C-alpha cells in the first residue's frame, strides 16, 4: 500500500523528525551540529520558513516550524540533501545518511504546539 501524501500548505505548523539510517549518529562532532543549524537558517531564509524550536539528538533531530510559501518539501530538501553531501565529504563516507523520508506531524491544535515548546 503506498504511503499517503504529506499534508502541507504555506503557513502550516509542523513537527518534523529525521533519523539516521540504522539509527546511527547523524552528528559526529560540534562542527556537524553547526553545519546542520547553519543549513536550517539559510534554508529558512530562502523558503520563508519560520523555525520555532529545534532539538539535535545524536541520531535524530526534531524541528518545530511553520512552512513558508515554498512549502515544507522544498525546505527539507535544501537542509537534508545539502547536509548529507557535506557530512559524507567531511567524514569520507558515501551513501544515505537519513532513514526513510522525514516524518512530519501537522500541528492543528495549540495544545500540541505548547507541549513541544
pLDDT interval class at 107 (50, 70, 90): confident
pLDDT exceeds 60 at position 1: no
Read off the C-alpha cell for 91. 567524514
User: Cα separations (Å) of 7 from 1, 67, 100, 104?
Assistant: 18, 11, 17, 9
User: Has residue 32 been placed in a domain?
Assistant: yes
Assess if residue 8 is contained within a domain.
Answer: no
Is the residue at 41 inside a domain? Answer: yes
CATH number at residue 83: 3.30.70.1290
CA distance 116 to 44: 20
Q: How many domains does the structure of the chain reveal?
A: 1
Residue 6 lies in a domain: no
Phi/psi at 20 (5° precision): -65, 150
> Average pLDDT of 19-29?
97
Give the structural domain span for 70.
13-107
3 located within any domain:
no
10 confidence band (pLDDT: 50, 70, 90): confident
Amino acid at each position: 500500500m503506498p504511503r499517503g501524501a504529506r499534508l502541507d500548505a504555506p503557513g502550516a505548523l509542523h513537527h518534523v523528525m529525521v533519523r539516521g539510517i540504522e539509527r546511527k549518529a547523524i552528528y559526529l562532532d560540534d562542527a556537524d551540529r553547526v553545519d546542520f543549524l547553519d543549513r536550517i537558517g539559510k534554508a529558512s531564509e530562502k523558503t520563508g520558513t519560520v523555525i520555532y524550536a529545534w532539538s539535535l539528538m545524536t541520531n535524530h533531530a526534531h524541528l518545530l516550524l511553520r512552512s513558508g510559501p515554498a512549502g515544507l518539501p522544498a525546505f527539507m530538501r535544501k537542509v537534508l540533501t545539502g547536509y548529507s553531501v557535506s557530512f559524507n565529504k567531511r567524514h569520507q563516507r558515501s551513501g544515505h545518511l537519513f532513514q526513510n523520508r522525514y516524518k512530519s506531524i501537522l500541528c492543528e491544535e495549540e495544545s500540541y504546539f505548547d507541549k513541544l515548546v
